[in-house]
Amino acid sequence: MSVLETTTPPLYRQEDVQQILNLAIARQADQGELSREQLVEIATELGISTENILQAEQEWIVRQEEQHKRQEFDLYRSLQLKKSFGKFIIVNVFLIVINLLSAGQLSWSLYILLFWGMNLGVKVWNNYQLQGEEYEQAFSKWYRKQQITEVANSIYLRVSNWLKGLN
């Protein structure tokens, strides 16, 4: 008996099968990409119905799209944070200069700086929280806004193309 035969179990749990197949597919991926036909063929050889593999593929596509949207949302939040930080710096430097020129010392401008800075600190904290209910709510709100914008743009293009057709 070889070492391989004595150390491999006769049966594998579902999780173990998935891990082994993931490793094998990852090694296959090093050799090149798999076509959709190859994917269906592999699934068929594993006893997975074509219907199940196609449903899994559709679910994977939906997950990929959602992940892409979440990356867009995270980028949007980062850009908004940079914009807020820029406003904070510009306005507060201006207010500090006015305060120094008018009073000769820092007085009222410090209050604005501290309260606005505290607000900006909360925004920074929220920006780097990528999980939880608040993140999901903010993402949902942003996503709905994106969808409404896409629909409005689509309607606008259709109407403008229709009006051009009338001329």
- Chain-centroid distance of CA 11 in Å reads 39
Q: Could you tell me which of 93, 123, 120 has the C-alpha nearest to residue 109? A: 93
pLDDT digits (tens, 9 = 90+) for 22-52: 787 777 656 667 788 888 888 888 788 888 8
- Looking at residue 6, what is its pLDDT? 55
Mean pLDDT of 123-133: 88
Mean pLDDT of 73-101: 96
pLDDT digits (tens, 9 = 90+) for 130-150: 888 989 999 999 999 999 999
Joined tokens for residue 56? 């899994």
Q: With contact defined as beta carbons under 8 Å apart, do 53 and 40 qualify?
A: yes
Q: With contact defined as beta carbons under 8 Å apart, do 123 and 84 qualify?
A: yes
Phi, psi of 106 (to 5 degrees): -85, 125
Q: Could you give the residue ranges of the DSSP H alpha helices within 33-49? A: 36-45
- Looking at residue 11, what is its pLDDT? 81
